Amino acid sequence: MENSIPWTQIVTAVVAIYAAFMSTVTFIVNKNEKSRKVSLAFSYGFLDTYNGLSDAAVIVTVSNPGYQHVVINIPYLILPDNKTLVFPRPQSNVSYPHKLEAGSSCTIWIGLNELKETLFTNGYNGKVHLDAGVDDGSGRKHLTKKSLILNLDVS
């Protein structure tokens, strides 16, 4: 008596495993394509105005690397004690709420001196760690992955 498995059963098993693997991959890809994604990033910069360059500004860029549009509300800053700083009339290249199409981005900015003054007036000093956040239309919160460290002692 031989304990060998017929080659037809081996081929059938390999094909079944391959089919299950491909089905799983397809499911994950389809799920990722349908999910809404938002990414935030900080930068410093100058804005090009009619009178030349602006004063230094802190810029928050909100981008949509996903495949679906996302409706976003006004981005905000998260202070070290988890309080939020929202700009009622933000300086931005769009109005809020904003429909952020797949593959697109928008920016919001505040003058560096204005931000430092606001933080100092509210009792912050020294090095302040800031995060940015934005809420989407479904209530999900999206935050920056990297904090901005702002030194209020340096002008």
pLDDT at 88 over 60: yes
Count Cβ atoms within 10 A of the Cβ of residue 131 and give its class: 0-12 exposed, 13-18 middle, 19 or more buried: buried
- The answer, as to whether pTM is greater than 0.75, is no
Instruction: Please name which of 137, 141, 66 lies closest in space to residue 101, comparing C-alpha atoms.
Output: 66
Torsion sign over Cα 145, 87, 120, 47: positive
Residue 6: band (very low, low, confident or very high) from pLDDT cuts 50, 70, 90:
confident
Span 114-140, pLDDT tens digits: 899 999 998 999 999 999 999 988 889
Spell out the domains of the chain, with CATH numbers in brackets.
Answer: 1-34 (no CATH), 38-151 (2.60.40.10)
Beta-bridge mates of residue 45? 57
Tokens 């094909």 map to which residue? 15
pLDDT digits (tens, 9 = 90+) for 29-80: 777 666 678 999 998 888 777 777 778 889 999 999 988 889 999 899 999 9
Burial (Cβ within 10 Å: 0-12, 13-18, ≥19) of residue 122: exposed
How many C-beta atoms lie closer than 10 Å to residue 62's C-beta? 26
How do beta strands 52-53 and 48-49 pair?
antiparallel
